[in-house]
Structure 1
C-alpha cells in the first residue's frame, strides 16, 4: 500500500463525498479516483479493499469533526451553567453540520455497518469512545447535569442534525434553536 499521506487524505475526502452523494453502493475505487481527480487505479493502491476504504473513511470523518484549538479554548472559558452548555451544543451542531457530506457519509457508513461486522465493530468502538469522551469532558468541566444528561443530549441533537441535513425545510432556524435550548433545559431537569 502507498504511504503518501497527502494523497491518502485526498482519496479519503473524495470517498466521503462519494458516500454522501451516491451512498455506500456507489463507493467504488473508480468513483473515488474520479472524485479525487486521480488516475484510475490510484485508490486501489492506497486501500487493501473496499472494507478498508469504508473503515478509513469513518476515521477521516471523525478527524475532520474535531474542534480546533480556538474552539476548545473558547469552550473552557466562562461559567459552567445552562447557558454555557447551550452555547456548546450550538457550536457542536454548527461544526458537525458544517461538514454536511461527513455527516451524510457517516449515516451511510452506519447503514453499511448493519451488513459488515468489522465496520460495525469499528464504528461501535469509535462512537462509544466519543460518547465516553463527551461525558468525561462534561463532568470534568463541572457542567450542569450528569452522564445521563449528556447521553440524552447526544441522542436528541444527533437526530436534530439528521433532520437539518436531510430535510432542511422541516424546521426554521428559529425552531431549531428553540429545540436546542429545550433539549438542554429538559436534559438538565431534576429527576
Structure 2
C-alpha cells in the first residue's frame, strides 16, 4: 500500500469535503477527483467511515507538518515576529489552504455525531494546542496551557469568519497582522 497513493486519495477527499460537504464524499467521487481508476478508493478504504477517517488523519498529518516546518517551538521570538508568523499562518489558511480549513470545519461538525471520529479530531487538536503551549512557554507566557486554549480559539474564529463571512468583511494580510499582534500582546507579558 503506497503512502503516496493514500495521501493523494485523502487529499482528494479533503478537496471534495470542502467543495461539496460530506454528502459529496463518495468512493467514486474521490476516484474522479484524484484521477485514479474507478474502484481505487474503495480498494484502500472499504467503507465510507474508513474514508472519512483517512481524511481526518491526513488533515492532522498536514497540520502537524505545517507546524513543524514553521519551527516556532524551538526558538524565542519577539512579539512582532510571533505576530508576523500568526498573520502568515491565518493568511495561508484563508487563501492557499482554504479548502483544508473548510474541510476541517465540516469534519468537526460531522464528528459531533460520530464519537470515534470526534476522539481522533480532538486528540489532533490537543496535539496542536500542546505545540502552541510550547511556543507560548518559550516566549515566557505566564500560563501557556490556558493561553493556548483561547489563543487557538481566537485564531480559529478569525479563520472561520474569513472563510464563511461576506466578502466585504475579508481581511488583508495587514489586517490579520493587527489581529495577530493584539492576540500576542494579550498572551505575553
TM-score range, shorter chain: 0.7 to 0.9
Which of 58, 61, 65 is residue 60 of structure 1 equivalent to?
Answer: 58
Structure 1, unpaired ranges of 5+: none
Q: Tell me: higher relative CO, structure 1 or 2? Use CA pairs within 8 A at least 6 residues apart.
A: 2
Which of 10, 13, 18 is residue 12 of structure 1 equivalent to?
Answer: 10
Could you report, residue by residue, the CA deviation over 1:64-101 in whole angstroms, capped at 9, with x for unpaired residues? 232377632x7755x53322321231233234333111
Which of 25, 28, 39 is residue 26 of structure 2 equivalent to?
Answer: 28
Q: Post-superposition shift, 1:6?
A: 2.0
**Structure 1 vs Structure 2 CA RMSD:** 2.3
- When residues 153 and 46 of structure 1 are mapped into structure 2, their CA distance, relative to the original with a 3 A threshold, is same
Give yes or no for contact 1:152–1:187 (8 Å, CA) kept in 2.
no
Query: Paired residues, what number?
Result: 184
Q: Post-superposition shift, 1:26?
A: 1.2
Distance in 1 separating the partners of 2:187 and 2:177: 15
Are residues 1:178 and 2:178 paired? yes
1:1-191 equivalent positions in 2, closer than 5 A: 3-65=1-63, 66-67=65-66, 71-72=70-71, 76=74, 80-97=77-94, 98-139=96-137, 141-147=138-144, 148-167=146-165, 168-173=167-172, 174-188=174-188
Structure 2, unpaired ranges of 5+: none
What SS is found at the alignment partner of 2:169?
A: coil
- When residues 92 and 145 of structure 1 are mapped into structure 2, their CA distance, relative to the original with a 3 A threshold, is farther
Query: What is the TM-score with the length of structure 2 in the denominator?
Result: 0.85
Distance in 1 separating the partners of 2:19 and 2:81: 35
